[in-house]
Structure 1
Amino acid sequence: MDGFGLFRKLGVGTKFDFKRFRKDADVLNLLPQNTNLTTSDNARQPEDDETENVESESEKGAEEEEMSREMKDGEPEMTVLQGLKKKGEKSGTKNKSKQSFTKLKQEKINHIRNKNRIHCFGEDPPSPCTSFDQLLSTYGFHPQISKNIATVGYMKPTPIQMQAIPAMMHRREILACAPTGSGKTAAFILPIMHHLKEHKKKGYRALILAPTRELAKQIYREFLRLSEGIGLKAHYINKATTEKQLEKKFDVLVSTPNRLVYMLQQDPPHISLSQVEWLVIDESDKLFEDGKTGFREQLAKVYQACVSNNVKRALFSATFAVEVEEWCKLNLDNVLQVYIGAKNSATTTIEQELKFVGTETGKLLAVRDIISKGVQPPVLIFVQSKERARELFHELIYDGMNVDVIHSDQTQEQRDSAVKNFRSGKTWILICTELMGRGMDFIGVNLVINYDFPNSAISYIHRIGRTGRAGRSGRAVTFFTETDSVYLRSISRVMVNAGCPVPSYMLDMKRPNKKLRRAAKRVPKRDRISTVAQCDIDKINKKRKYFAKDKGNQVKRAKVK
């Protein structure tokens, strides 16, 4: 940069009289570049040619005036030192700096969300938190909660926790969908503990609903772990005869819809939900289902019983349901929708496999083959009904396997015992129905076997989601026969989205028509699980009937005598 250019930048907004101080300008080399060049060229010319190259005084005067005007009007204004501005330019730079700061902040937030595959829909979603220490500094988390988080072993928030916790901290109503094993339970327990702060003898101030007793107990245990030392008290309804006086002793209620509705319908009601500030519905798509397997009617009664004006609602699930989304848009206030990854997708940490077994008999052979080759327990085997669960249990127990079964016909004590033994490692293989497919968190399940093909992609996602949880790896094997071809297309799509290999013919299959799709929703009839031939089974049943009849005749004869 020459002297003239430097002078113009440093002297922005000032006037310089070149006519009066021409000599100083020559010494400091402040004249325009073309004038300097002319002067240097003239110096190189011989003295006898000097008169031909020297400019006339009138031309120089005109040039100086022109340059003076240019310095005055033509040059754009510059700031020599940061923060020094010309009159009339006060708020423009401030606004620009604010806009640039806001833009940079939003870009950072977008980067965090894109990196963790967080999708938000709603007005003004809060910024995600990237560490639990940030929750302590930003929202003033109770220090004991932070200690409990560290004690439990949570190192950093999962994607659903990054966005759902700040949303609930701002008291936003939320619909959250995240893959199985992604930490949804802690995502709603931590904000609830922060809002309730301490124990108050006002009654239940938070209600958490789950579709099964096993899942409700699991949530209850997790709440106890995270709330230790804070003073908050949680309650799980073991029996529907809980006394009304217990309300004042607890702050949080964890329950299933059926038991809660039974207590609400008593005259007078055995329980009051008038003080509830947070209503959390876990596995919301299941609770919103209609019909025998759903809980829509019970959920409506619970919803109506929460009459407080300050109640906020949060719905969580691993799978997405259009009905739930539409209901939330209509009934929730300024709802924020949070989705992690693709909707209705399985976690990528699970190695998924489809295995053709031919017939129902081939399934039993395939299970025995997998176990004989060696498996690392614990293992979960899913069947479609409690009758088939009992049949498979009787087949495998005689093979000398460490196996147990759980289904809805068992008493609560039997079910609790089966879960306890499976958690502690006493049971290696647990046979179960859809009962265990929702939300249950067994540490380190290495293998899930879908003995009976699931009748929907949602059921499949929840079943295989019992393995590969919290970042661990897992394996899922699904048996299928020729009769299961109706469901193959939807399941193969889930596998492809998770990055698992699938035969090309499955992806090319045509979508079933409406009639087939309706039929697919029903539980298909399957042959009984047994290695004994049907004719032999019929003979055994005939003998049993004959002996039973003969025994009855003997009793009658004895009475006559």
Structure 2
Amino acid sequence: MQDSGTAFNALRLGAHFAKTKEAQRFDANIKATRSSSEKQDATANVVTAKTLPSALDFFGTAEKVTETIATKDVAEVLDSSEGSREKKKVKKAKKEKSEKKSKKRDKKDKKDKKRKRRDSTDNAEADPAKMTKEESLARLRKEYKINVSGSSDVPVPFRTFSSLTDVYKLNPAVQRNLVTCGYSVPTPIQMQAIPTMMEGRDLLACAPTGSGKTMAFLVPLLHALKSPGNVGFRGIVLCPTKELGRQIYNECERLAKGLRLKIHYLTKATASANSFGPQTNQKFDLLVSTPMRLVGMIQNSTIRLNSVEWLVMDEADKLWEMGFLEQVDEIIAACGSSKLKLALFSATLPAKVEEMARTILRNPVKLRIGPTNAATELIDQQLLFVGREDGKLLAIRQLIQQGLQPPCLVFVQSVERAKELFRELIYDGINVDVIHAERTQLQRENVIKKFRLGEIWVLIATNILGRGIDFKGVNLVVNYDFPQSTADYIHRIGRTGRAGRQGKAVTFFTNDDRPMLRTIGNVMLESGCEVPDWVMEIPKANKNQLRQLRAFPIKRKGITSMSAYDKEKTRNKRDAISHSKAVKKQKT
């Protein structure tokens, strides 16, 4: 019994000892786990403290980390994260590079395909056996940017003036005059317009300024008249200004030399009843006139137009405006011949004018050279911001100081502003003059003559010179006042860059000219000139705004360099003189 109790106690002691050992081992494990977690927390804190600035540095927002990392594990973690980031960058760069290469490859393939297609087409066109007449004609018109519409039987354009003699039996005298006047190669408008009129078709033609439109209608007109008829006027050329009429008359005289045709230019002097009447006009064959002068003679019954076969309108868009429309209608009504044919020429042809013109044209051919309502590519067009109106005078004087190469045309908005600018520039040491509607016809003719001879370097003008006037070798056109319509802009700058010569046009603008700025920018883009991006981002002006600007131009500050004090002093002096004169008049 005693032995069994002793054994039982031994078992109890062994179990207690084992339990104590297990507890000690468990406690040790707990302590070890705690210390390990504390170390991990400390390491994590260090890693967090180091990776956070590194991440912020990656996004460009953290300052440079100055403390060092002592723990080896932390350094390995940072190295691994930076390495993965670098790998991502390299991978992304490789991907972008491959995408760029693929894009370049695709672009090159497209260009190669286009070149092969073009080469094959050119080879086919060059081979007469593979080229039909229609394809040859289409290629010719595409080459010279000749666009025609109308009936399908539009005459074929010609390449040389000698072919006119072969096909249309052009008078040898006209052929000789063309050579004498220096016309060796026809321009695109002449290539298509001359045969169209020679075949007796009504024509609606639009071509850039300086492209040879005057000769394009004079040659077929002289061909149609052939010789004196002694039946009165058989051809009429209408134009909006006297200066343009004089220019057309002079050109017609040169081309008609040796034909014995009687050409008459209607002026105020020759329109009087004493020098012109029903019997006198029987001697003439061709008449050049402005609408108002001709309508006056029709109303006075001093002229009859029953025999007119051709009525040509130069600058037709201007003639079909409200100021001339009634007069043009009356002239057309007076031309009572059933054989009457009409031809309209202009550098700009609005849709409204075309629509009205088609009401009187019979089966017309519409001819357009190049883009619609665009200037010639020979003109370097520039826009110059001058701030306020005062900045324009500084800008033009700066152009002069930089070395102005005459001749130069400067366009302003009104007669009064033309006078003011002339008074400012006359003392700047340059040969300057002004032309406007308030000057007499003799004065205007003398100014134009001097400008052509080079005696005048800078000519200030209103829109009176913006239409059709051909000055040889104008190097620069300055739009001192912003044009109020696209047509005005195209015709103004069209005084330069004529007959294949290079030219330059500078347009001043202020904040007040913002509504029209984008419209002019579109014209410049069509002509291949550079335009600032912000100009094309300006909201488009609606039709009502554009119509309002044309009807009521912007009111601008006077052109003067006089200070406000001097202006007040001059005004007071003028008022004192006026008052003194009034007092003297009352006493007498």
Superposed pair shares fold, TM > 0.5: yes
Please report how far the alpha carbon of residue 542 of structure 1 lies from its aligned counterpart in structure 2 after TM superposition. 2.4
Map Cα deviations across residues 5-46 of structure 1 (whole Å, 9 max, x no partner).
xxxxxxxxxxxxxxxxxxxxxxxxxxxxxxxxxxxxxxxxxx
Q: How does 1:455-534 map to 2 (within 5 A)?
A: 455-521=484-550, 522-534=552-564
Mapped to 1, the partners of 2:548 and 2:476 lie a distance apart of 30
- Tell me how far apart the structure 1 counterparts of residues 531 and 362 of structure 2 sit (CA, whole Å): 43
Structure 2 distance, partners of 1:538, 1:196, is 64
Q: What's the CA shift string for 1:59-78, capped at 9, x where partnerless?
A: xxxxxxxxxxxxxxxxxxxx
Q: 2:254 aligns with which of 225, 234, 249?
A: 225
Indicate the structure with greater helix content.
2
- AA partner of residue 524 (structure 1): I
Q: Deviations over 1:98-118 (max 9, x none)?
A: xx9997111111111000000
Task: Map 1:75-154 to 2 at 5 A.
Answer: 104-123=132-151, 124-154=153-183
* Distance of 1:253 and 1:464 partners within structure 2: 29
Instruction: Pick the aligned partner of 1:286 from 300, 308, 318.
Output: 318
Residues 115-137 of structure 1 show CA distances to partners (whole Å, capped at 9, x for unaligned) of: 00000001110000111001011
- Letter of the aligned partner of 1:306 in structure 2? C
Q: Distance in 2 between matches of 1:103 and 1:172?
A: 28
CA–CA distance in structure 1, aligned partners of residues 357 and 415 of structure 2: 34
Say how many residue pairs are matched.
Answer: 454
Write the distance in 2 (CA, Å) between the matches of 1:534 and 1:287: 43
Q: Tell me, yes or no, if the aligned pair for 1:382 and 1:433 is still in contact at 8 Å.
A: yes
- Assess if the C-alpha contact under 8 Å between 2:317 and 2:346 holds in 1: yes
Distance 1:338 1:323 in 2: 17
Give the alignment partner of residue 475 of structure 2, picking from 441, 446, 454. 446
CA distance in 1, matches of 2:565, 2:555: 19
Contact 2:238 2:313 in 1 (8 A): yes
Deviation digits for residues 489-516 of structure 1, max 9, x if unmatched?
0100111111111100111221124553
For the residues of structure 1 that align with 2:210 and 2:537, how far apart are their CA atoms? 31
Deviation at 1:214, TM superposition (A): 0.2
* Alignment counterpart, residue 276 of structure 2, candidates 243, 247, 253: 243
- Measured in 2, the distance between the counterparts of 1:515 and 1:177 equals 26
* Pair 1:310-2:339 in alignment: yes
Counterpart CA distance in 1 for 2:280 and 2:211 is 33
Mapped to 1, the partners of 2:242 and 2:567 lie a distance apart of: 36
Aligned counterpart in structure 2 of residue 404 of structure 1, from 429, 433, 436: 433
Q: Show CA shifts across 1:450-482 (max 9, x none).
A: 000001111100000000001100000000001
Alpha-carbon deviations, 1:218-267, whole Å to 9, x = none?
0000000111111112101121315213212211000000111111112x
Amino acid at match of 2:474: V
> Any idea what SS the aligned residue of 1:316 has?
strand
Q: 2: CA distance between counterparts of 1:515 and 1:118?
A: 33
Residue 258 in 1 paired to residue 292 in 2? yes
Deviation at 1:414, TM superposition (A): 0.9
CA offset at residue 547 of structure 1? 1.2
Q: Measure how far apart 1:330 and its partner are.
A: 2.7
Identity value in percent:
50
Unaligned runs of 5+ in 2: 1-127
What letter matches 1:532 in structure 2?
A: M
The equivalent of 1:43 in structure 2 is: none
Q: 1:203 to 1:515 in 2, by over 3 A?
A: closer
How far apart are the structure 1 equivalents of 2:398 and 2:571?
A: 30
Inter-partner Cα distance in structure 1 for 2:130 and 2:361? 29
Report 1:297-446 matches (<5 A).
Answer: 297-446=326-475
CA distance in 1, matches of 2:381, 2:352: 29
Structure with larger Rg: 2
Inter-partner Cα distance in structure 1 for 2:461 and 2:388: 21
Partner of 1:331, secondary structure, is coil
The residue identity in structure 1 corresponding to 2:364 is: V
Q: Give the one of 307, 318, 321 matched to 1:275.
A: 307
Letter aligned with residue 578 of structure 2:
A
Is this contact kept in 1: 2:381–2:506, CA < 8 A? yes
1:527–1:196: structure 2 CA closer, same or farther, 3 Å change rule?
Answer: same
Contact 1:148 1:225 in 2 (8 A): yes
Cα deviation for residue 364 of structure 1 reads 0.3
Distance 1:311 1:121 in 2: 21
Whether the 8 Å contact between 1:328 and 1:335 is mirrored in structure 2 is no
Pair 1:274–1:164, CA change in 2 (3 A): same
- Residue 203 (structure 1) aligns with: 232
Partner SS for 2:331:
helix
What is the correspondence of 1:42-81 to structure 2 with a 5 Å cutoff?
A: none
Task: Give the SS at the match of 1:342.
Answer: coil
**Tell me, what secondary structure is at the counterpart of 1:296?**
helix
* 3-state secondary structure, aligned to 1:120: strand
- 3-state SS in 2 of match to 1:470: coil
Contact 2:485–2:546 (8 Å) recurs in 1: no
Q: What SS does the aligned partner of 1:421 have?
A: helix
DSSP 3-state at the match of 1:471: coil
Residues 228 and 541 of structure 1, relative CA distance in 2, 3 Å threshold: same
Contact persistence 1:486–1:520 (CA under 8 A): no
From 182, 196, 209, give the equivalent of 1:167. 196
What secondary structure is seen at the aligned counterpart in 2 of 1:337? strand
Q: Secondary structure at the match of 1:374?
A: coil
Give CA deviations for 1:300-342 in whole Å, capped at 9, x if unaligned.
1111010011110000000011122212333211100000001
